[in-house]
Structure 1
Amino acid sequence: MTTAQQSATPPTPESASDVTSEPANPRSRVLVASLVGTTIEFYDFYIYATAAVLVFPHLFFPAGNDTTALLASFAVFGAAMVARPLGAVFFGHLGDRRGRKVTLVASLLTMGVATFAIGLLPTYALVGWLAPLLLVLMRLAQGFAIGGEWSGAALVATENAPEGKRAWYGTFPQLGAPLGFILANGLFLAIAAAMPSDDPSTPSDMFLSWGWRIPFLFSAVMVVVGLYVRLRLVESAAFQRAVDKGTVTRLPLGEVVRTHGRELVLGTFYMLATYVLFYLMTTFSLSYGRAATDAEVPGLGYTYNGFVLMMIVGVVFFGIFTMVSGPVADRFGRRAHLLLVTTGIIVFGLCWVPLLEAGDVGVMAWLLLGFSLMGLTFGPMGALLPELFATNVRYTGSGLSYNVSSILGAAVAPFIAVWLWGAADGSPFLVGVYLSAMGLITLLALAVGRDTRNLDIDR
């Protein structure tokens, strides 16, 4: 047989099977692409969260009551959460109609441009109320972009995962949260150390003048790296099979509401305790840890540098237990794992007072426990939420559940926590009870749900 004849010979069934079973994206490319994007996403959010405590109350709102300025800053922080479901609908439609790759590139670009622009904004002293207005607009753009970022990264990981390892692969986009925290706060610490203040409780004039802008402008470098990695991806095999079968739907939002309404509700409440814990341990804790012990609303009295270093130690445990949670959820099931962890979150919320009143050791234990529980509850969500939905509505469905939960949890958590903190005259008791109450709601949702470990990802 000639070479030409050999090349024209159709493949045997065995060889065809071998070709189709080969993953379109190498494992390393899948894991890096899902990790890089969410690392940038959380880096961008953390630098905003840190600036919302350190910078924005001083520079973007009228001088006056410090608590009022902090609440206003947190309100702008929460505004992004309102935009996230809109982003989930827009990017979900694009992802379920046009594919995962193009959507991931678009969401990352939108996020990068908005974050870079925050670093260029004029302050209240220069333009008055235009300053917080522009800050809100950029924050809304960030939230809109993140509405499509997380679900796309989770789908890239889980739709390309080998059988029996979806939760393990799904932890890689989740690992972006602790990595983003360490990068963002590490950079802020380095800048603050280079621009020291005479008063450890407040940033220096140089930091407030221009130093705070550096982390926002640096995000452009990270976005370029993320785009390079994502542009090298090919479309996920699960989505391509949906295209080949002709099951792609014209209106994913209408289809997911019609066919997966129960899953949308359950997925939203699955994430509730995770979101509340996440933002209490990162955003609220920074305000509480830095507040003076003799302030009108007293806190722990740590310096910014000292408390952030303690938080970074806790976040290392966040990363470790995020990775641990994947194999555990693959072995024992997502539901069984999360029922146990959510019970731990409820108990943890009731232990805030004895832990935080036990001195440095107690505060460190509080951070380690909170961030460890965060890793254990956040890790499996990268697989659980996508598994709730069929391929043709998976981007929209998982994105909506994740981001609607952000309104119920993350958008209001820092605001409610600051109010409860003040209402209890500086005691963390009510804030801990609030966390436990949200954990109970998640526990009830898990109790009526079912495990998704063995569901067919191509259904």
Structure 2
Amino acid sequence: MPAPATNPAPAPANSRSRVLIASLIGTTIEFYDFYIYATAAVLVFPSLFFPDSDPTTALLSSFAVFGAAMVARPIGAVVFGHLGDRLGRKGTLVASLLTMGIATFLIGILPTYAQAGWIATALLVLMRLAQGFALGGEWSGAALVATENAPKHKRALYGTFPQLGAPLGFIIGNGLFLIIGALLPSSAGADPSQPSDAFLSWGWRLPFLFSAVMVAIGLWVRMRLVEAPVFARTQEAGLVRKLPLATVLRDHWKQLVLGTFFMLATYVLFYLMTTFSLSYGRTSEDAAVPGLGYDYTTFVLMMIFGVLFFAVFTLVSGPLADKYGRRLTLILVTVGILVFGLVWVPLIGLGTLGVVLWLVFGFTLMGMTFGPMGALLPELFPTSVRYTGSGISYNVSSILGAAVALFIAVALWEAGDGSPWLVGVYLSSMALLTLVALLLGKETKDVELDEGEGEAVTGPEHDEAPAATASPEPSGGPAEALRARAPGAEGLGASGRPRSERGSVRGRPATRLRPEARVVGHATGDRGPVRS
């Protein structure tokens, strides 16, 4: 007598709190590491690593090293994306965090130019490249941990948690610099806007060394994760791509281009508000290229106040994007960024109150545009290439919108004789490019994240299909259903699309795909939320 059929044991799942904490803590640490370099690049690195240059050239050289990391980020996105799409998200995220932590710690023990000459500068560049390489693999993996474990109707909300790491990392990093600066004040008679001798000698190293503690906590949290069911089913069904990058470039290049320009205004606004503004705000009003003339402590406190709005509106943006759609939310916010660039000078012309309002408005817009990206970019790509595709879009945009933004901003600041009106016009121009990309794109909030799911076309001719034509799901569960629709580990049909994306979906008949059923390259369907 045959043994009764038994259902396979359910795959282990991550709890909601574990998913949200793991996606948040990793990006908080990564952005903390990035921000403390950005702060040091303005405060101490020009004099410690580029002492033979005039102040403006030294600042530009320091920004050049900062920008070098942006060039390394797409390389990291390709490498970590390949590993994440083939081997899994968990191990890849652990590797990216560990790489970032080691590079940041080593910056904290580097010799200065006075101690080692050009070797010190070369080592700084090398560590900065390692930071960028690691961050290239961090964001997309953290976003996937959040969105692939989220209910469908809350993907944008879950996707805001890795984004929340940006303002939290800023607050922790700059808060630590403030505390150290307060404990190591300048001597009597010294310029209070400049760091003290003790700070220049060893105080700046402490935030870099402290990152080791944060990385240890982050590794402990991430080691407790299990793979999301969406990716586990793709692995079990043999749908893993041998070369995810090749698949993305061949089949999803339009999504890649659109995703890159979706992020453009976000990046420009981000680095103008967090890095350029720190230099602009601290530069004396009597300098050759005048700034706002605030001392470091006062201006950073003003920035931290603005970043609180960044954090709050990052979380606010998620439910709005879940309800009204990612595209509409981002179109409205991008219009706001365009207007913000044009009112930059009138705002700061109002004095301290105007500067505070400028920071609040800028960081509020930053939260509203950055938050939905945690769901939007992953939704552009199918599971088997999602890590690679979303990571490349995110990080190629960092070159266009961040690596060159600081150079352009400083050059325009000088061209305007200290007035940032040209910088504001530059921001508005980048917002216009993003707006065009969003208008060309389509809504993604209803896409299915499961590989091959959500592909059936719904409508009068396909709903209520006769039971006799249905293809029942194989008894092995979701993985067997996917495998049945895609024989062969790497199998593609004659059209070039994976066979898994053309078969029956959970007991519904295989149906012909219509182009209008697709949303930015990934099809919609009528299944319920992804269960995690």
| TM-score, normalisation: structure 1 | 0.96
Higher relative contact order (CA closer than 8 Å, sequence separation 6+): 1
* Cα drift, residue 414 of structure 1: 1.2
| Contact preservation (8 Å) 1:289, 1:302 | yes
* Cα drift, residue 163 of structure 1: 2.1
Report which of the two structures shows the higher radius of gyration computed on alpha carbons. 2
Match of 1:295 among 284, 287, 292: 287
Match of 1:24 among 13, 22, 29: 13
CA–CA distance in structure 2, aligned partners of residues 124 and 304 of structure 1: 24
* Cα drift, residue 200 of structure 1: 1.4
Could you say which residue in structure 1 is the equivalent of 2:416? 424
The reply to whether residue 395 of structure 1 matches residue 387 of structure 2 is yes
For 1:240-255, what aligned pairs fall within 5 Å after superposition? 240-255=232-247
* Cα drift, residue 10 of structure 1: 4.5
Could you say which residue in structure 1 is the equivalent of 2:231? 239
Long gaps (5+) in structure 2: 452-532
SS of 2:450's equivalent? coil
CA–CA distance in structure 2, aligned partners of residues 187 and 11 of structure 1: 56
Percentage of pairs with the same residue:
73
Could you say which residue in structure 1 is the equivalent of 2:518? none
Could you say which residue in structure 1 is the equivalent of 2:67? 78
| Contact preservation (8 Å) 2:12, 2:226 | no
CA–CA distance in structure 2, aligned partners of residues 63 and 177 of structure 1: 34
Could you say which residue in structure 2 is the equivalent of 1:5? none
CA–CA distance in structure 1, aligned partners of residues 12 and 110 of structure 2: 45
CA–CA distance in structure 2, aligned partners of residues 324 and 356 of structure 1: 26
CA–CA distance in structure 2, aligned partners of residues 381 and 163 of structure 1: 15
Could you say which residue in structure 2 is the equivalent of 1:350? 342
Stretches (4+) displaced over 3 A:
8-12
| Contact preservation (8 Å) 2:65, 2:125 | yes
Letter in 1 for 2:249: V
The alignment yields a C-alpha RMSD, in angstroms, of 1.1
* Cα drift, residue 236 of structure 1: 1.3
Could you say which residue in structure 2 is the equivalent of 1:445? 437
Deviations 1:330-382 (A, max 9, x none): 00000000000000000000001100111011000000000000000000000
The reply to whether residue 163 of structure 1 matches residue 155 of structure 2 is no
Could you say which residue in structure 1 is the equivalent of 2:377? 385
Could you say which residue in structure 2 is the equivalent of 1:271? 263
CA–CA distance in structure 1, aligned partners of residues 6 and 289 of structure 2: 74
Letter in 2 for 1:133: A
CA–CA distance in structure 2, aligned partners of residues 64 and 85 of structure 1: 30
Letter in 1 for 2:81: G
Match of 2:85 among 72, 85, 96: 96
CA–CA distance in structure 1, aligned partners of residues 40 and 129 of structure 2: 16
SS of 1:296's equivalent? coil
SS of 1:165's equivalent? helix
Letter in 1 for 2:294: Y
| TM-score, normalisation: structure 2 | 0.83
The structure with the largest helix share of the pair is 1
Match of 1:150 among 139, 145, 152: 139
SS of 1:453's equivalent? coil
Letter in 2 for 1:443: L
Could you say which residue in structure 2 is the equivalent of 1:436? 428
Letter in 1 for 2:422: L
* Cα drift, residue 244 of structure 1: 1.6
Deviations 1:226-261 (A, max 9, x none): 000000000111110101221110000001111100
State which drifts further: 371-380 or 58-67. Answer: 58-67
CA–CA distance in structure 1, aligned partners of residues 150 and 399 of structure 2: 30
CA–CA distance in structure 1, aligned partners of residues 5 and 219 of structure 2: 38
Match of 2:305 among 313, 319, 332: 313
Could you say which residue in structure 2 is the equivalent of 1:362? 354
For 1:131-210, what aligned pairs fall within 5 Å after superposition? 131-197=120-186, 198-210=190-202
SS of 2:153's equivalent? coil
Could you say which residue in structure 2 is the equivalent of 1:127? 116
| Contact preservation (8 Å) 1:23, 1:160 | no
Letter in 2 for 1:283: T
Aligned residues: 446
CA–CA distance in structure 1, aligned partners of residues 61 and 442 of structure 2: 40
CA–CA distance in structure 2, aligned partners of residues 130 and 113 of structure 1: 19
Deviations 1:103-149 (A, max 9, x none): 00000000000000000100001111111111000000000000100
CA–CA distance in structure 2, aligned partners of residues 64 and 132 of structure 1: 13
| Contact preservation (8 Å) 1:83, 1:147 | yes
CA–CA distance in structure 2, aligned partners of residues 399 and 130 of structure 1: 32
Letter in 2 for 1:61: F
Letter in 2 for 1:317: F
